Amino acid sequence: MKRETLRLRIADLLFSLEMPRAWAPLVRHYWKDYLADAGQPTIQGRIWAVEDRGDIRVDVDTKNNKFQIFAQNPGQFLRRFSECLRAAINPFLFKYQGFILHASSVVFENQGYIFSGPSGAGKSTIRKMLKLPSLGDDSAIIRKIGKRFYLFGSPFYERTKTIYPNQKLAIGGIYFLKQARENKLRQLIPEEAFPAILANIRLVSFANSGHVSDNFKKAVETVASLTRQDWFFELYFTKDKSPWLLIKAVSKLPQLLDPRFWQSLPPMVWGQKEINRQELADLRISKSVSLYFEFSGRRKIKVVAEMIRKGNLDGPHTREVKDMLRAKFFPNDFWAAVKERGGWTLIDGNHRALAAFLAGRRKLPPLIYGQLLRKR
């Protein structure tokens, strides 16, 4: 039987696949986004045709970067062929600081948001709710390159009968799903994130290799490094209301706030609620690292607004509020506050809240709020 060799680039690793020539057009068609024209393959694979399902197997030699797949014709059994491909690739991901997480994912502003959990947790449900481009419905490939972690497109033909785009994105957040009556985000500390990741790593039992256990140890080290990031949350969500604004807002807070302030916050439960004008009036102004923060700290919005109205305050922050009023422009689609003794304190949105109150706005953006975790 004549044979042909194709190159596939998966998770920035270059694989060569020698296969029966009759199979090559189908592989080119389904994996067209993963084809590579040039480059020296890191990993060499050979694919052999078998007739019976009982003869399917995958032999992996990670020490010498080689593997063999014994599979049925992908023209008739495409999903089984894809499962064999995943079984062959998985140990090499372990070796090269990566793994496959049982998860779906979406793409927003060039970042990947990953939703993990066991079967039935809602991975497909939330992907459909968010209506955003996706890099996988049941598998999320995560790999560390240099000092950074990336999400890669899933090349596996799974439940959605889709092979997802071959993309490489920075990670915006990793969320472990819990269905609930309202949308909440609970920040996880590394000691919680580590077992949650390990419990949802995809393992393949029918890959024969004497080196899998050694490479799984490398995967555990990779997970330990990953969980030092502050991306991890339990996402409690209801099917009746999209949690996307809450996810997007909390993921943006580290960039919106002074890094020292964000890092000083203890782990919190984050929620979202609509507020009225009276609740807006009672929000308190946060502290600021600015030397020219004339609002002082911990005063209520209604108190500071009255001082501005009477002309008792002047400075760069007051001028910013007045510029918003003149332009009738109140940017952003949320405010953020944390619960402290005595009330709610804004951590993002001081100027917008003051301008909206002074303008007499009735329709207000939702409040993203954080509360301290209760001790278990």
How many angstroms separate the CA atoms of 219 and 143, rounded? Answer: 10
Strand pairing report for 66-71 and 57-61: antiparallel
Give the pLDDT of residue 204: 63
Give the pLDDT of residue 1: 76
Work out the widest C-alpha separation in the chain, in whole angstroms: 89
Whether the CB-CB separation of 116 and 141 falls below 8 Å is answered with no
φ and ψ of 9, to 5 deg = -105, 115
Give the pLDDT of residue 374: 62
Query: What is the pTM for the complete model shown?
Result: 0.90
Q: Which residues pair with 105 in a beta bridge?
A: 114, 136
Give the pLDDT of residue 107: 97
**Which residue type occupies 29?**
H
Q: How far is CA 294 from the centre of its chain?
A: 38
How many angstroms separate the CA atoms of 190 and 194, rounded? Answer: 6
Question: Do 99-248 and 257-372 share a fold?
Answer: no
265's tokens: 């916050």
Give the pLDDT of residue 376: 44
Whether the CB-CB separation of 124 and 239 falls below 8 Å is answered with no
142: closest CA among 201, 212, 207?
A: 201
The correct answer on CATH 1.20.1630 for the domain covering 99-248 is no
Give the pLDDT of residue 205: 52
Fold of the domain spanning 257-372: 3.90.1530
How many angstroms separate the CA atoms of 239 and 122, rounded? Answer: 9
How many angstroms separate the CA atoms of 354 and 309, rounded? Answer: 11
Alpha helices in the chain (DSSP H): 24-30, 78-95, 123-130, 190-199, 212-226, 244-256, 259-264, 277-282, 301-309, 316-327, 350-358
Domain boundaries, the chain: 3-96, 99-248, 257-372
Q: What is the mean pLDDT of each run of 10 residues along the chain (376 residues)?
A: 94 97 96 92 96 92 94 92 93 94 95 93 92 94 96 92 94 95 93 94 63 76 92 93 94 85 86 94 84 84 95 92 89 87 88 93 92 67
φ and ψ of 64, to 5 deg = -105, 10
145: closest CA among 45, 40, 13?
A: 13
**Which residue type occupies 343?**
G
CA angle centred on 99, ends 118 and 34, rounded to 5°: 105
